[in-house]
A and B are shown apart, each in its own frame.
Chain A
Amino acid sequence: MIETVDQSDARGTSSQKRKREVVYVSAPLDLRDAPETFHTSAPPRLRWWRRPLLRLLYVPAIIAGMGITIGHLLKNLILLRQPTISFPEIKPFIPKRFRSRHRLMQKDDGSVRCTACMCCATACPSGCIYIVAHEVEDPEVEKAPRVFDIDGLKCVYCGFCVEACPCDAIRMDTGVYPEAEIKRGNFVWNMDKLMHDIPDNLPE
């Protein structure tokens, strides 16, 4: 067994005491790293609570441990400062650029800004965007989605669809993320939900 002197005790014990504290480490994989001192003579004296008999009774260590746990308990009982968040009643803090559930942008007249160019569906690595296009009167766009579904269970929230969109029609800045649902089908968000079921005062 290889014996090293524990240098890690940084709590200001005197150097003589520090030298007596001995830890046994298993042999390092690379023997060139092994310390010079090998265990040859009788093991050095241990401090009283590390002596075999007292250690066998486990009592000093047990008392120390129980002090730690009751300290935590009392601190939590009196100060009530557990970091737990009561999700879903309270939402955790969501950073501004968090990629959350998609939304479809609207034009000034309230119609969908998307022109059904299929760029997002093509870019999507998980193939979860399903678009059916139809013709519209507006000569500028000519096309618009009739169906625009995103399957939230397949989506990996990579944001490629947002990058791919040439007319900034899809964004992932709602700060909403999917929670539990009763049915799988509820995770398929249709165009209406993507356009209207979003928090207010999001940037235009």
Chain B
Amino acid sequence: MTEALVLILRPLGALGFFMTLIPIMIWFERKGCAFIQDRVGPNRAFIPGLGLRLAGFVHNLADVVKLVTKEDFIPAFAHRGLYIAAPMLSMAAALLTYAVIPFADDLTLGSVTFALRAVDTDLGILFIFAFSSLAVYGVVLAGYASGSKYPLLGGIRGTAQMISYEVSLGLSVMGIVLIFGTVDLNEICRVQGQLLFGVVPKWGVFLQPVGFMLYLFAAFAETNRSPFDMVEGESEIVGFHTEYSGTKFALFFMGEYVAMAIQAAVIVTLFFGGWQIPWLPTSALIENASQVLVVLLGAIAVGALGFGVLLLRFHRWNKVRWQDERKREGIILAILLGFGPAITALLGLTIVLSTDLSGSVPNVVASVAQFLAFSVKVLFFCWVFIWVRWTLPRFRYDQVMFLGWKVMLPLGLLNLVVTAGLRLLWL
């Protein structure tokens, strides 16, 4: 019974995590780019009656309503079957990849131990490469099936770019595989908990700095994000989804964000210790579960308090601007999201301080702490994707190809050879 439940809940939980990241990332993107460009960003859409704007979060809801109710148009000259299949493929390829990413160390509940990832397999990196490279089919089929010139150009450019960078992507990870000696992501995370020279955590980024840079660049190219968005290129060709509208366009749009979130998760897993909290291996977490819980709750209380104060400041700032029901929002949110959680966390803190943790509770606490560490890292790298997009201009097509084949490929090969040599010497 529990086994079946776990089998169902694990993929759902992982799916939920990455689907939740989509609106958060879209919000990050809009608000972040606005603040980078000295603007205020979206803050108009609000829920009537409640008067909540959530600092532009409601725009996501408005987008959903718009995209779902829009006419699902299929051009007469399109290849019907492929036209419909392309966005599905794009989304499916992006979503399948999440299956092997571990969210925390193996969790023991009573007598059962299970891995906290969607599918318990040691395929790891191979699985990710197999499915993330399927994304290119979404792009090329959309371009081809639209029966129009601009999508075709976008699709072809995108395909060339993605295939070129796939090479560097694979090569840059080879170094990691050589060093850790496995492709299983959970195992890789576990090894990264050890210490290097007794000081720094044995994270991939310290062992493979060149590999990390190469992987980062290739990941940008793989997800077709700026500065590598050859596929879209708003200024010259509109992109492979020119002819798409409504829900199909939404699928492409969400697929891009899911792919981004998953690349961020892979970067974190391979190069930044995954779910590892630096200097705190799982056993230490379980042993000191009550201290960990205290620190966690304290951090939550302080963070929520700070957030509430920030919201109140926003509220003061906004109060002069809005003369309608929206002006109450700041106070409501500050209580709901800031001071309320802070007080709850403090109450929890007192309870924790007065009781002893027993049974499998410490294991759960350790897993939650690791999951939080993982989420924070992933969110940071999602932000890096957005940050880079709003900083750098787009590469020219020949520059993309030059960088891919003449700079990154030789560097990747060199990195691989040097790593292999060092590995031979050390063993």
CA distance A162 to B322 in the complex (A): 35
Instruction: Summarize A's interface: helix, strand, loop or mixed.
Output: helix
A70 at interface, CB cutoff 8 A: yes
Note all chain A residues with C-beta closer than 8 A to B392.
62, 65
Report A-chain residues with C-beta under 8 Å of the C-beta of B323. Answer: 89
| Closest partner residue, chain B, to A81 (CB atom) | B38
With both beta carbons as reference points, the residue of chain A lying nearest to B411 in the complex is identified as: A57
Interface string of B367-395 (1 = CB under 8 A from A): 00000000000000000000110111000
Asked if residues B387 and A70 are in contact (CB atoms below 8 Å), the reply is yes
> What is the total number of residues of chain A having a CB less than 8 Å from a CB of chain B?
21
A82 within 8 A of B: yes
| Contact A76:B35 (CB < 8 A) given known A65-B391, A82-B40, A89-B321 | yes
Known: A80-B313, A82-B40. A90 touches B390 (CB 8 A): no
| Distance between Cα atoms of A51 and B213 in the complex (Å) | 19
Chain A, residue nearest B407 (CB): A56
* CB within 8 Å of B: which A66-91 residues: 66, 68-70, 72-73, 76-77, 80, 82-84, 86, 89-90
Q: Are A73 and B40 in contact (CB under 8 A)?
A: no
Taking a contact as CB atoms under 8 Å apart, the answer to whether A69 and B391 are in contact is yes
Q: Taking the nearest CB of chain A, how far is it from the CB of B46, in angstroms?
A: 13
Provide the B60-74 mask, 1 if CB < 8 A to any CB of A, else 0: 000000000000000
Q: Is the CB of B322 within 8 A of A86?
A: yes
B20 to chain A, nearest CB (A): 23
Q: Tell me if B121 is interfacial: C-beta within 8 Å of chain A.
A: no
Residue on B with the closest CB to A62?
Answer: B392
CA distance A69 to B388 in the complex (A): 9
Q: Which residues from B are CB-within-8-Å of A70?
A: 36, 387
Cβ contact within 8 Å between A89 and B387: no
- The reply to whether the CB of A59 lies closer than 8 angstroms to some CB of chain B is yes
A72 touches B35 (CB 8 A): yes
Complex CA distance for A139 and B363, rounded to whole angstroms: 100
Q: Do B38 and A59 have beta carbons less than 8 Å apart?
A: no
Contact A84 B314 (CB under 8 A): no
Bound-state CA distance A140–B403 (Å) is 86
- Contact status A76-B38, CB under 8 Å: yes
- Nearest CB in chain B to that of A76: its residue: B35
Q: Mark A52-65, 1 if CB is under 8 A from B, else 0.
A: 00001111001001
B387 touches A69 (CB 8 A): yes
**Whole-angstrom distance from the CB of B315 to the nearest CB of chain A?**
11
Interface residues in A177-191 (C-beta closer than 8 Å to B): none
Give the residue name and chain of the A residue nearest to B323 (CB). A89
**Which residues of chain B come closer than 8 Å to A58, judged between CB atoms?**
403
Closest to A80 in B: B317
**B37 contacts the other chain (CB 8 A):** yes
> Could you tell me the distance between the alpha carbons of A83 and B32 in the complex, rounded to whole angstroms?
16
Partner of A82 from the list B32, B39, B388, B403 (CB cut-off 8 Å) is B39
Q: A84 near B40 (CB under 8 angstroms)?
A: yes
Q: How far is the CB of A86 from chain B (nearest CB, A)?
A: 4
Determine the chain A residues whose CB is within 8 A of the CB of B112 once the complex forms: none
Contact with A along B288-326 (1 / 0, CB 8 A): 000000000000000000000000011001001111000
A residues with a Cβ closer than 8 A to B are 56-59, 62, 65-66, 68-70, 72-73, 76-77, 80, 82-84, 86, 89-90
Q: A65-B392, A66-B388 are in contact. List 17 more A-B contacts (CB 8 A).
A: A56-B402, A56-B403, A56-B407, A59-B213, A62-B391, A66-B387, A68-B391, A69-B391, A72-B37, A80-B313, A82-B39, A82-B40, A83-B38, A86-B40, A86-B321, A89-B322, A89-B323
Ordered by A's residue number, 10 sampled pairs between the chains whose C-beta atoms are within 8 Å are A56-B403, A62-B388, A65-B391, A69-B391, A70-B387, A76-B38, A80-B314, A82-B39, A90-B320, A90-B321
